[in-house]
Amino acid sequence: MSVYTTLSLQEVQAFAVPYGLEVVELNPIQGGIQNTNYFLICLDGSQFVLTLFENMDAESAGEIIPILECLGEQGLPVPVPLMCHGQYIQTLKDKPAQIAPRMLGKHPMPASLAQAEAIAIAQAKMHVALQNFPLERSSVRDHEYWYQVARQMRPTLDMADQILLNNLFGLYEALTAMYPDRPKGFIHSDLFRDNTLFEGDQLNGILDFYELNHDEFLFDIAITLNDFCTEYPDVTLNEDKAIAFLNAYETVRPLTPDEKACLELYLAMAAGRFWLMRLQVAQMNAAEGRTGDDILQKNPAEMRNMLIERLKFVTA
């Protein structure tokens, strides 16, 4: 949610008129790395989020809205975009754009044990609701996609990091062949703390579903568990929080024995995926000359260190 496309208040005011919104203040959002986002404050005090999709066409940007509607019907706190002229996605500065209600709260930094439990329950409810959801995404970031990213990034890595990556994928191939019962469905894929909003221990918002993907639930669990149960800059897993997270998740959807057998590996794989993603984004930003205070670039080394830490507990 960096700012890649600069907008003026006048441009946003004109865009918001068909929505019936009278925007009086525009504030850029710094956090996340994919799209441009602004907070909108209206004359009546209501607040919204304007998103410009930097790497999607209108069809791709709009295809997850039925997912949001489904989750909202299940009582999960997700931001369903506003409709304008019968469409959820409009165009602003030649890019797909939407306006959604702003969900209030704070990112849990660090997360409490109760917050880890709350997000685990919400994640399990999402998995149950979306396991058989009839959607085909035009953009697919499944495991094969990440293999391709790894192949592209490997020549840019030094020898030690190439060995680290090879070790990770070798363990993945060995263990997943031994434990194949790992259910799939639509997963958030990016459920970090900065994509959630809490008031105290109350979960008020789950944000940024644009990495939504059909993949193994265990990957989603590993991504979120890694983040909610780690107290940066230390990348060691907080075992009390991790146990509480998993126990809370299983009150909604019990893990299969094979998922449990692969969990430690998937914690490492999740760290590896985001290490590669952050390296890829850094290269993209450099190639396109994206710089400045409004461009958030997360540190790849943080995920590399986590990967090394998590691999200590994986045995094939």
CATH number at residue 292: 3.90.1200.10
46 and 165 inside one domain: no
Q: Do 181 and 121 form a contact (C-beta atoms < 8 A)? A: no
The answer for residues whose C-beta is within 8 angstroms of residue 290's C-beta and 6 or more apart is 4, 284
3-state secondary structure of 199: strand
Residue 162 scores a pLDDT above 60: yes
Edge-first strand order for the sheet with 36-42 is 23-28, 36-42, 47-52, 95-101, 90-92
Give the residue from 70, 101, 132 where a domain finishes: 101
48 and 158 inside one domain: no
93 and 234 inside one domain: no
Report the pLDDT averaged over residues 237-261.
Answer: 98
Residue 253 scores a pLDDT above 70: yes
3-state secondary structure of 42: strand
DSSP letters, 278-296, are HHHHHHHHHHTT--STT--
Domain total in the chain: 2
**What range defines the domain where residue 154 resides?**
113-311
E strands along the chain, which residues? 23-28, 36-42, 47-52, 90-92, 95-101, 184-187, 196-199, 202-206, 213-216
Give the residue from 101, 133, 165 where a domain finishes: 101
Report the pLDDT averaged over residues 108-120.
Answer: 97
Q: Do 71 and 129 form a contact (C-beta atoms < 8 A)? A: yes
82 and 157 inside one domain: no
Burial category of 54 from C-beta neighbours within 10 Å (exposed 0-12, middle 13-18, buried 19 and up): middle
Report the pLDDT averaged over residues 135-145.
Answer: 76
Report the pLDDT averaged over residues 2-15.
Answer: 89
- The answer as to whether 316 is a domain residue is no
The mean of the pLDDT values for the chain is 90
Q: Do 217 and 127 form a contact (C-beta atoms < 8 A)? A: yes
Residue 73 scores a pLDDT above 50: yes
Any idea what the CATH number is for the domain that residue 47 is in? Answer: 3.30.200.20
179 and 218 inside one domain: yes
pLDDT recorded at residue 288: 64
272 CA to centre of own chain: 15
pLDDT recorded at residue 286: 63
36 and 79 inside one domain: yes
Report the pLDDT averaged over residues 211-229.
Answer: 95
- The answer as to whether 94 is a domain residue is yes
Residue 1 scores a pLDDT above 60: no
Residue 314 scores a pLDDT above 50: yes
pLDDT recorded at residue 278: 87
3-state secondary structure of 84: strand
In this prediction, residue 285 has a pLDDT band, given cuts at 50, 70 and 90, of low
Report the pLDDT averaged over residues 220-226.
Answer: 98
Residue 3 scores a pLDDT above 80: no
154 and 47 inside one domain: no
In this prediction, residue 294 has a pLDDT band, given cuts at 50, 70 and 90, of very low
Tokens of 235: 């990348």
63 and 93 inside one domain: yes
In this prediction, residue 187 has a pLDDT band, given cuts at 50, 70 and 90, of very high
- Under the phi-then-psi rule, with left for phi > 0, alpha for psi from -120 to 50, and beta for the rest, what region is 75? left
- The answer as to whether 201 is a domain residue is yes
- The answer as to whether 266 is a domain residue is yes
Tokens of 79: 């931001």
Using alpha carbons only, give the angle 197, 190, 109 rounded to the nearest 5 degrees: 40
Residue 195 scores a pLDDT above 70: yes
Cβ of 14: how many Cβ atoms within 10 Å?
Answer: 12
18 and 129 inside one domain: no
Give the residue from 101, 133, 162 where a domain finishes: 101
In this prediction, residue 2 has a pLDDT band, given cuts at 50, 70 and 90, of low
170 and 299 inside one domain: yes
E strands along 95-212, which residues? 95-101, 184-187, 196-199, 202-206
State what percent of residues in the chain have pLDDT above 70: 93
163 and 71 inside one domain: no
pLDDT recorded at residue 291: 58
Report the pLDDT averaged over residues 247-255.
Answer: 98
Using alpha carbons only, give the angle 196, 202, 203 rounded to the nearest 5 degrees: 25
In this prediction, residue 287 has a pLDDT band, given cuts at 50, 70 and 90, of low
- Give the torsion sign (CA, 264, 237, 146, 67): positive
